[in-house]
Amino acid sequence: MSLKFGTAGVPLSAKDSTTEAGIKRIKELGLDAMEVEFVHGVRMKEDKALKVGVLAKEESVSLSCHAPYYINLNSREKDKVEASKARILDTARIAKLLGAESVVFHPAFYADDSKEAVLAKVIRELSEIREVLAEENNPVILRPETTGKPSQFGDLKETIRLAQEIPGVLPCLDFSHLHARDNGKYNSYDEFCAILEGIAEILGERWVKNAHFHISGIEYGAKGEKKHLVLKEADLQYEELLKALLSFGIEGTVICESPNLEEDTLILQKTYLNLLAGK
């Protein structure tokens, strides 16, 4: 199967909230990926990460990681920028031990700065992070995520630009965020195809064969994202999106962030498999 499907965090039906239980439940459900959520800090010890990595390999579950939310590479305060960089590095180091290929994160806020100035700052800071990881022989891909509010750095063009400018960086395309950020735009087969074609032209096969997506239902307004919803309560045309991914031969991972986690992940997987089978 060209796309792997998994949950953002431990499935709700797992026997407990540990990462190990999550991996085992993912396997039982017939899914093949899980994003390990370090949203409140990287607290997993190295020895545990190694054990979890072995289990994930045994169960053929592909792992990725989400770095803590408290990241702002455009903070006015230098110590907050350094702390943000440390959080990304800490996540990448544990990700390597887990055997995870990618680290997803929200890069920055604009504050009162111009979009151009923030982009330049994020490129500079992220390049330094990448240099440290290169020195540590850490191949984990850094994936800045497209964000759901216009106040957050991370529109489609900016996210692609980071991947253009910095080796070892590829986008995490959150289609729900893109849809919410522009108050309902990006929600048809043609619009999805235009996005995929644009990225493929710029980033080429290294992205087409190793893409990473977030999908969920989402509530939004004039100021963008409000909250995640289950798919059936939202207007995201996920079948059209999956059809577009299939049309372009995109390979990689789809992580579902809906509140009901595995239920919507299974819906996405089933829809994709039916499209793949021509049903």
Contact status, residue 220 vs residue 179, Cβ threshold 8 Å: yes
> For the chain, how big is the Rg over CA atoms in Å?
18
- What is the structure's pLDDT at 144? 98
Average pLDDT, the chain: 97
- Assign 2 a pLDDT band (cuts: 50, 70, 90): confident
List pLDDT tens digits, range 128-150: 999 999 999 999 999 999 999 99
Q: How many domains does the chain have?
A: 1
Model confidence over 39-49: pLDDT tens digits?
899 999 999 99
pLDDT in tens, 186-232: 999 999 999 999 999 999 999 999 999 999 999 999 999 999 999 99
* pLDDT > 90 in the chain, percent: 96
- pLDDT-based confidence at residue 256 (cuts at 50, 70, 90): very high
Q: What share of the chain is helix, strand, coil (3-state, %, to 5)?
A: 45, 20, 35
CA atoms in the 13 A half-sphere facing the CB of 156: 21
**224-229 vs 217-221, strand pairing mode:** antiparallel
% pLDDT > 70, the chain: 99
Task: Tell me the two tokens of residue 192.
Answer: 């999805």
- Rounded CA-CA distance 169/166 in Å is 6
> Amino acid letter at 184?
G
Domain span at residue 138?
A: 3-276
253 in helix, strand or coil?
strand
Helix runs in the chain, H state only: 19-29, 46-58, 78-98, 115-135, 156-165, 175-181, 189-203, 205-208, 238-247, 262-276
Query: Cα–Cα distances in Å, from 175 out to 140, 182, 229, 242, 246?
Result: 23, 11, 13, 11, 15
Per-residue confidence (pLDDT) for residue 264, from 0 to 100: 98
CATH assignment of the domain containing 185: 3.20.20.150
Q: Categorize the per-residue pLDDT at 1 as very low, low, confident or very high, splitting at 50, 70 and 90.
A: low
CA end-to-end span of the chain? 16
